Structure 1
């Protein structure tokens, strides 16, 4: 793969993008112990439940606007060095409140880091507020109402993350209605740990423009055809799928089969240091597994920008960088 391929990602949880080195620095700052989830400068977990615990442990060490500004800036400058021109980050006001911040301070801190990275590299970024599914319906609806109030102009989307085996998609439909009515772009995690039915339920009850992961749709050919027919974009994260054992290797990963079936797919890093990944690594994995050349890889970037939750003038500028 040529290093000059421009990249974009739509699926990265900002707290999950904190490197172990940065988290250890935060731990030293606040006198915290991270030995239960970081060893030898690597996150340590063995299953999804332990991963969530490591994620939450790291997130708890970002406690001020400056902390979040540093996190956003370091992540964005890092992917800009891999030729990324655009990113969307999932932001969780529930994590901010748990760390003692107001949602407004959280968004302002992240925006400061986004602005600094834009100044230093030219990269664009937007925020998608996510409700945390396993915290329950009321929390997810509260996140939707917060996002719908547009507390910051860089907030352009709403989604739901967390343990997708908790509850039913239909339970959360009202939250998405609130966000959609406010003009926010809609995405939802489905079809990662849970099967094809979770993707179908998301389409039926949430009507998303995009689905986070969605790869388990491959288990149902009719559902794959529906995704293609309805132009729903999948935010695919091959590296994390492999690390979580959803697929054993890239040869069995359905990204290429979904693409050839006409589904719009994009490449994303999810929680990059937890999964030993980055957006550059994801593009390399795909190139090596399926022989994609620079033109093909740039096509996935184009799909991501076309599906991005941005205003049309910004989209035009970003697409222009691909020509």
Structure 2
């Protein structure tokens, strides 16, 4: 709202009234359109370098305040390129602020560059080559390459060349799939991209064979129960199949997805896992370990974070 006021932008009532906004089910394309319209309206408020820096900075500071040890932010620099003279400056601004806030004591921030399914696959290759130029394994670097937006749009296999570019650069591959579409879409993504992680992937649970393949391949699922419910993928938090996926041997990394539109940050996902899905302290610790193992954080930080999880579990009341 502050950014909108600064740029003279009128926001939709859904973004300025009761928060979080009430979202329609995205199981039909009309519902997705309404969600995407709100997302685009919020993103349109980011119109200057300082706006971009503020978002990165505040995300890092907020996550550090909640106890996060590492933050991977997904960015499509195409959205901000018109305001900073191109996709390269847009990405460099984000990376520069990520490095600065990490050094200043915020949660260390690394970046995932994401292409969009609603644009041409050649655009994805351009972004993959850009991401490869800034590939690294620490704060202020690009650690992954993703694919976002409505998974019912575009042909997954046509984006495979972009992911091949990212793979050659050593980036983790993190496409979204298996939220709006079912296990067939998940399997198509596995075949085409050989991903390290899948954004969501929860509907793979509808086919035990696909779940078994995910577990065998060591692919982690980034799951946000609050997002799945807010978008109507599942009716109730108890329906989100986190426990079933874990019991099938799948590595699950809880995430907050989009706190602005879902009104739920990372700690809330762990609270939901405990209070609604029935995970005990040992189960929560293992979810946290799964997140750490799936992350592209420096080795020393991974070790210290895993040790901190063990210490928390050992100190937890019986």
1:130 aligns to what SS in structure 2?
Answer: strand
Residue equivalent to 1:57: 41
**Equivalents in 2 of 1:253, 1:224: separation in Å?**
15
Q: Of 153, 165, 169, which aligns to 1:182?
A: 169
Gaps of 5+ in 1: 1-23
**1:104 shift after superposition:** 3.4
Does residue 1:35 correspond to 2:12, yes or no? yes
For structure 1, which segment, 114-123 or 129-138, has the greater mean C-alpha deviation from structure 2 after superposition?
114-123
Query: In structure 1, what is the equivalent of residue 185 of structure 2?
Result: 198
Matched, 1:146 2:146: no
Match of 2:28 in 1: none
Distance 2:80 2:72 in 1: 18
Structure 1 residue matching 2:237: 3-state secondary structure? coil
**How far does residue 67 in structure 1 lie from its aligned partner after superposition?**
1.0
Considering fraction of residues, name the structure with more strand: 1
Inter-CA distance 205–298: structure 2 relative to 1 (3 Å threshold): same
TM-score (norm 2): 0.88
Consecutive unaligned residues in structure 2, runs of 5 or more = 25-30, 311-318
Aligned pair count?
A: 300
**1:1-323 matched pairs, under 5 angstroms:** 24-40=1-17, 42=19, 43=21, 45-46=23-24, 47-119=31-103, 121-150=105-134, 154-323=141-310
Q: TM-score, normalised by structure 1?
A: 0.87
Higher relative contact order (CA 8 A, sep 6+): 1
Change (3 A) 1:266 1:135: same
Separation in structure 1 between the aligned mates of residue 106 and residue 45 of structure 2, nearest angstrom = 28
Partner of 1:8: none
Residues 167 and 128 of structure 1: CA distance in aligned 2, closer, same or farther (over 3 Å): same
Task: Output the aligned Cα RMSD.
Answer: 2.0
Tell me the secondary structure at the aligned position of residue 310 of structure 1.
coil
